[in-house]
Amino acid sequence: MKYQRLNNIIKSMESQNVPQMILSSPASIFYLTGRWIEPGERMLTLYINTDGDNKLIVNELFPVEDIEGVDIIWYKDTDDPIAKLTNIVDKDKTLGVDKFWPAHFLIKLIERNACKNFVNGSPIIDRARMIKDKEEIEMMRESSRINDNVMSKAVKSLCQEYSEKKMVSILADIFEEENAEGFSFSPIIAYGANGADPHHEPDASTVKPGNNVIFDIGGVRKHYCSDMTRTVFYKNVSEEHRKVYELVKEANLKGIEAVKPGVRFCDIDKAAREVIEKSGYGKYFTHRTGHSIGIEVHDFGDVSSVNTEEVAPGMIFSIEPGIYLPGDVGVRIEDLVLVTENGVEVLNKFTKDLIVV
């Protein structure tokens, strides 16, 4: 077990009167055990309680090595894993339940009157995962370094012969060359007016002179995610598109400049958004400024106008303002940032100067 992480969670459990909890998310189980298990439709639960009794219930189909500090309880496909879990849970106490646990498992546990009452235990683990420890920070730096290298190679690969879909396949090869384990999310490659859709799905479109090209890409390295967006232009760039680009770049920089311990997420969003709003493009910045990231590409927490929580050292999240003019152009610039004791560290090093390929 990752004991320091576990101790932090137990302290939170105690303060919130949650004496026992089950986790089912592969990401959260990995966070505590260092083992990644994808159970599919089969039940997977890590039971923890404030007395230090930790048990992993897992199907014997998944060969998990011994984990220090955890009893592994195996079951066969013909067994009833809920019965095994019922025998573990203290029926006289509250049980925290992972928000990702399939309802059909939870309903069966409720029907057995397995505990005093059920509560959502996910905020406890989610908030613990928001603050990265030294090991995680190094992994996020490495993952982002790989993403920088991939971005550099991808931009250089751009040519008129390649469709958006073809560029996605090229990206997959580049991530493999850079020793990533795959994409952290489905890449967004968008040419020209396609870039005005922030979540455009790459299609058969080919790039034409004067087009903006959005590269929103990320990979996974040892289960930690990267995410970065750059917008380049093909062959030439109009003055209007250059103006839009520079505004988005300024918004990105202002957002990053606002990051330091004690600042609210909503104030970071405001710092970036005001640049775009004051220039008359406010209605074309259609999404939040950023999201938290770590083991999952969208961890708990975001950089938005409604999030009044203060940022703290160890948090990692994106700053990704954009302007999207329907039928014309889309520009987004995204970096991952780490909150330090005194300010901010930008994890992405790939240039934000306007590039014409």
86, 200: one domain: no
Assess if residue 355 is contained within a domain.
no
Which residues form the domain of 328? 131-346
Q: What share of the chain has pLDDT > 90, as a percent?
A: 99
Q: How many domains does the chain have?
A: 2
How far, in Å, are 40, 63, 151, 218, 334 from residue 329 at the CA level? Answer: 40, 50, 20, 22, 17
pLDDT at 183: 98
136, 77: one domain: no
Assess if residue 280 is contained within a domain.
yes
188, 77: one domain: no
241, 304: one domain: yes
Assess if residue 21 is contained within a domain.
yes
Write the burial class of residue 340 (CB in 10 Å: 0-12 exposed, 13-18 middle, 19+ buried): middle
CATH number for 220: 3.90.230.10
Q: How far apart are CA 294 and CA 129, in angstroms?
A: 8
CATH number for 11: 3.40.350.10
163, 103: one domain: no
Which of 80, 103, 129 is where one domain is finished? 129
115, 138: one domain: no
121, 150: one domain: no
Q: How far apart are CA 300 and CA 327, in angstroms?
A: 33
pLDDT tens, residue by residue, 80-126: 999 999 999 999 999 999 999 999 999 999 999 999 999 999 999 99
Q: What three-state secondary structure class fits 28? A: helix
pLDDT tens, residue by residue, 212-232: 999 999 999 999 999 999 999
Mean pLDDT of the chain: 97
Assess if residue 275 is contained within a domain.
yes
Handedness of CA 172, 175, 181, 187 (dihedral sign): negative
Assess if residue 353 is contained within a domain.
no
Residue 27 has pLDDT above 90, yes or no: yes
Hey, what are 258's tokens?
Answer: 């606002």
Q: How confident is the model at residue 268 (pLDDT cuts 50, 70, 90)?
A: very high
Hey, what are 46's tokens?
Answer: 């890590």
199-207 mean pLDDT: 97
148, 232: one domain: yes
Which residues are CB-neighbours of 303 under 8 A, at least 6 positions away?
255, 265, 268, 269, 288, 289, 290, 291, 317, 318, 319
Give this prediction's pTM. Answer: 0.96
Residue 177 has pLDDT above 90, yes or no: yes
Q: What three-state secondary structure class fits 224? A: strand
41, 187: one domain: no
Assess if residue 351 is contained within a domain.
no
Hey, what are 264's tokens?
Answer: 């609210």
Assess if residue 61 is contained within a domain.
yes
Residue 65 has pLDDT above 90, yes or no: no
150-176 mean pLDDT: 97
154-180 mean pLDDT: 97
